[in-house]
Amino acid sequence: MSNFKHWRLEREAGDANAGVAWAVLDTADSSTNTLGADVMAELGLILDECEKNPPRGLIFKSAKAAGFIAGANIEEFVASDTPEKARALVKRGWDLYNRLAAVNYPTLALVRGHCMGGGTELALACRYRIAVDEPGTKFALPEVMLGIVPGWGGMLRLPQIVGPAAAMDMMLTGKNIDAKRAKKMGLTDACVPPRVMDNAARMMVLSGKPARQSQLPFMQKLMNGPLKGFVASGARKQVAKRARQEHYPAPWAIIDQWQNYGGNTLAVPAERPTSLDALVMHPTTRNLIRVFFLQDRLKGFGKLSGQTGENFAPRHVHVVGAGVMGGDIAAWCVLRGMTVTLQDQSVERIAPAVGRAEKFFERKLRDKKLARFALDRLIADPKGDGVRRADVIIEAIFENLDAKQALFADIEMRAKPDALLASNTSSLKLADIAAKFKDPSRLVGIHFFNPVAMMPLVEVVAGEITSPEAAQKAAAFVRGVDKLPLPVKDAPGFLVNAALAPYMHEAMRCIDEGIAPETIDAAMLAFGMPMGPIELADTVGLDVAVAAGRQLVGESDPPQKLVELVGAGNLGKKSGKGFYNWVDGKAQKSGVGAGDTANAAMAQRLIKPLLDATHRLVSAGVVADAELADAGVIFGTGFAPYTGGPMNYLNNGGR
């Protein structure tokens, strides 16, 4: 056995597997495996040893419980802040993985847990790949989300293994691929349970089977060759629908580098806008990396320590209120492995939420048996019997103070002494809801956003007398259901809604001036928002918009068209008509001002109230600092990530 600081090279002997070598990665002083300079240098030394004494097969495996490889060392990339440094970093991985791909003995990546970025590129450089069938096993090339490209061979090898269309989808979105999906699409050669993974790896590496590249169908091979232009053209059309090149150059660079340079980012002339040099110097890259670290900071709020950490491991959630928010919170908690009792006034009121959950599970799990198991953990509970057993109780009823106070009086009396009591209120003060508690320090806000399954942020609201332990447990629960917890103070609208309301109301003022909704929405889509403010208002509900304007904008004279629509019962998407007509859940837009219409002046007018509100909320201490405000508004509203967030956008003069 050869020992390095980060790797172990173990050779088997004495049986039919004699000569099989295992390269086991265990990055020192880290809970996850990352591919820093030292790790990559040692990988080169392992290949040196195997060149001197070739094994019958070389299997790559992780010693970490956390997963296979999390990817490259992001701090090293941040330090590579010039084109010259970035080229040196990319060349190191490109050359090393090309060397791995060219060895004359079989190689295999045994992937258990997350396999991201450079980890996936290492796996692609092996002859074989096996995925371990566990929920945590995920493959991804997420570089595009950092404003960069998969420069260590991903753009070369992935299209050769799974075909260019599937490869482009992975690279241009950064999406995760689970173990079963990886096998189905040809990314891996096998998907096996943990108990047989080592033996399966041995058998595969000794099998002599041809590599996946040689098994690609003839038409897919053509699409990697003479038909490349056709694939690239289709990919550009898809990217154009969601990412303007001046805002997000990385996806356009991926397409160009694959089509014209064989996936070799080092071969692209520096003067091209799709070159590595151009990406490194583009402000979007700096801002997206900033957003990556902001996301990590939010995740950190979910870590428990001390006695709280030892004793808090929630498995049973009780949700009161089976409307859209309550039902979707319940379904999300079930999807994350918890048992949920869902309470409302009758089984008939709960039934629609269960029906939505069933479709949600089938769509997400893509397995009817698993969907049925999930549905079994969602229990209709009209009498609220689950309160007594629940570890976490979330109130999600309508925004009425008296009703919430009465509900919590009953809950506090019946709940376990150590149960977490939370309200999903979006507008009422926690202090008011907790006014009739025997122990008001138990109440915390856990504010999800609609749609629950899509919005990554959850505001964790601490009232003036909320105990630090309750707030800490709430953040841990939020992280435990795979959301991003943002600590905020108990103020009207907290952070996200308080920043969003003035922006949406300014957009509705524009309608009163005779500007078409399509024109307004198109301007903000071109700016980089995921949805225009008028369509967003319709989606949230115009009755909600009226209430938000009254409370958060302080409007005594709300937008005229908004008042007219609400007065006529036209509340937006939920009623089928608002500023737009809605058919099958989609806004029906005319061609007037629609499409990719950049209107910088209008965008700046609309965004100014949001920027001003965010600045004011930071000054008032609703969030701890400007960085957290940026994180909250990006992950809570979809505010254009390429800007780095509203405070960063302000500080950089609107760039």
| 570 and 449 fall within a common domain | no
pLDDT reported for residue 549: 77
Listed residue (524, 614, 651, 628) closest to 247, CA to CA: 524
pLDDT reported for residue 307: 60
- Classify residue 469: in a domain, yes or no: yes
pLDDT reported for residue 593: 45
At 603 the three-state DSSP class reads: helix
Q: Which of 42, 412, 459, 469 is catalytic?
A: 459
- Classify residue 295: in a domain, yes or no: no
Active site residue 426: yes
Report the CATH number that the domain containing residue 201 is assigned in CATH: 3.90.226.10
Inter-axis angle of helices 164-173 and 249-261, to 10 degrees?
Answer: 150
| 190 and 76 fall within a common domain | yes
Active site residue 497: yes
- Classify residue 109: in a domain, yes or no: yes
pLDDT reported for residue 1: 67
Long-range contact set of residues 239-246: C-beta below 8 Å, sequence gap at least 24 = 239/172, 240/596, 244/526, 244/528, 244/596, 244/598, 245/273
Q: Which of 447, 469, 505, 506 is catalytic?
A: 447
Distance, in Å, from the CA atom of 534 to the CA atom of 561, rounded to the nearest integer, reads 12
| 339 and 479 fall within a common domain | yes
Distance, in Å, from the CA atom of 302 to the CA atom of 479, rounded to the nearest integer, reads 5
Active site residue 505: no
Listed residue (234, 213, 230) closest to 162, CA to CA: 213
Burial 486-504 (b: 16+ CB within 10 A, else e): bbbbbebbbbbbbbbbbbb
pLDDT reported for residue 209: 87
Distance, in Å, from the CA atom of 460 to the CA atom of 445, rounded to the nearest integer, reads 5
pLDDT reported for residue 309: 58
In order along the chain (655 residues), what is the average pLDDT of each group of 10 residues? 88 81 96 95 97 96 94 88 93 98 97 97 98 94 96 96 95 95 95 96 92 78 88 93 91 97 96 96 95 96 74 93 95 97 96 96 91 96 97 94 95 96 91 92 95 95 93 96 96 93 94 94 92 92 83 78 94 93 91 62 95 96 97 96 96 77
**Which residue, 281, 300, 322, sits at the end of a domain?**
281
Q: Which of 62, 224, 424, 497 is catalytic?
A: 497
Distance, in Å, from the CA atom of 3 to the CA atom of 42, rounded to the nearest integer, reads 10
Helices (H) then strands (E): counts for the chain = 28, 23
| 453 and 528 fall within a common domain | no
Active site residue 459: yes
pLDDT reported for residue 599: 87
Report the CATH number that the domain containing residue 335 is assigned in CATH: 3.40.50.720
Burial 542-579 (b: 16+ CB within 10 A, else e): bbbbbbbbebbbebeebbebbbebbeeebbbbbbebbb
**Which residue, 443, 464, 490, sits at the end of a domain?**
490
**Which residue, 468, 490, 512, sits at the end of a domain?**
490
Distance, in Å, from the CA atom of 625 to the CA atom of 495, rounded to the nearest integer, reads 12
Report the CATH number that the domain containing residue 619 is assigned in CATH: 1.10.1040.50
| 155 and 257 fall within a common domain | yes
In contact, 381 and 341? CB cutoff 8 Å: yes
Number of domains into which the chain is organized: 3
pLDDT reported for residue 595: 45
Q: Which of 426, 505, 535, 627 is catalytic?
A: 426
- Classify residue 299: in a domain, yes or no: no
Count of all residues that appear for the chain in the document: 655
Task: Domain of residue 92: give its range.
Answer: 2-281
